[in-house]
């Protein structure tokens, strides 16, 4: 049913009129650097089990995006991190995700695989296992961080090679 004043089909309770909105999921994560190396986690869960990714995951209810990125680094890599700013905002339409990726630094060099990681490692740029990267946005984020260098961060969005997000109403 399309509720009054809306343009999309929604699940609507015929008894009380409650409208169930199904909205995108927010993913938070970070490109974590330590000296000249990047922290990557080898996934212990599907999707893409065994492939390398950034420490990232779904934002929890009542959690700030910054706190979520720090929590994910701890959960996946037992990494204590400091955030340096927002690096990227990606719209992943086919998954109904919005990804907020921060630039971060390790506060100490101690890292270890958490329950969702098979292993964690610090890679120099030329050591990154590019053929085994789990998701396109991981590559985009690493590239964005490298291009930004140590200068001020201006958050990037989906690369031009990706389809442009569609606007509401099919525009």
Each residue's pLDDT tens digit, 42-72: 999 999 999 999 999 999 999 999 999 999 9
Residues 61-118: pLDDT tens digits? Answer: 999 999 999 999 999 999 999 999 999 999 999 999 999 999 999 999 999 999 999 9
Residue 170 lies in a domain: no
Closest among 53, 100, 96 to 75, alpha carbons compared = 53
Q: Report the pLDDT value the prediction gives residue 164, as an integer from 0 to 100.
A: 52
Question: What token pair was written down for 134?
Answer: 């789990």
Is the pLDDT score of 167 beyond 60? no
pTM for the complete prediction? 0.87
Closest among 104, 163, 167 to 136, alpha carbons compared = 163
Residue 120 lies in a domain: yes
Residue 8 lies in a domain: no
Helix or strand holding residue 39 (H, E): strand 37-43
Residue 79 lies in a domain: yes
Report CA-CA distances (Å) from 62 to 20, 40, 68. 20, 27, 10
Any idea what the CATH number is for the domain that residue 121 is in? 3.90.79.10
Residue 14 lies in a domain: no
Residue 86 lies in a domain: yes
Number of structural domains the chain divides into:
1
Measured from the Cβ of residue 92, the count of other Cβ atoms closer than 10 Å reads 18
d(CA 103, CA 101): 7
What domain range is 96 assigned to? 25-158
In order, the DSSP letters of 41-89 are: EEESSSSSTTSEE-SEEEPPTT--HHHHHHHHHHHHH---EEEEEEEEE
For β-strands 25-34 and 97-106, DSSP reports them as parallel
Residue 144 lies in a domain: yes
Average pLDDT over residues 4-23: 88
């Amino acid at each position: 049913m399309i509720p009054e004043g809306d343009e999309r089909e929604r699940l609507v309770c015929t008894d009380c009129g409650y409208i169930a909105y199904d909205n995108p999921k927010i993913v938070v994560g970070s490109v974590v650097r330590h000296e000249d190396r990047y922290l990557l986690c080898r996934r212990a869960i599907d999707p893409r089990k065994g492939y390398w990714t950034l420490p990232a995951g779904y934002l929890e209810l009542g959690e700030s995006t910054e706190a979520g990125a720090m929590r994910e680094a701890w959960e996946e890599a037992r990494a204590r991190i400091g955030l340096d700013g927002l690096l990227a905002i990606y719209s992943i339409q086919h998954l109904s995700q919005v990804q907020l990726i921060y630039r971060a630094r390790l506060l100490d060099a101690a890292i270890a695989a958490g329950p969702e990681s098979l292993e964690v490692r610090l890679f120099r740029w030329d050591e990154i296992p590019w053929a085994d990267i789990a998701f396109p946005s991981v590559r985009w984020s690493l590239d964005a961080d490298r291009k930004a260098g140590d200068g001020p961060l201006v958050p990037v969005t989906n690369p031009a090679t990706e389809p442009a997000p569609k606007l509401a109403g099919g525009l």
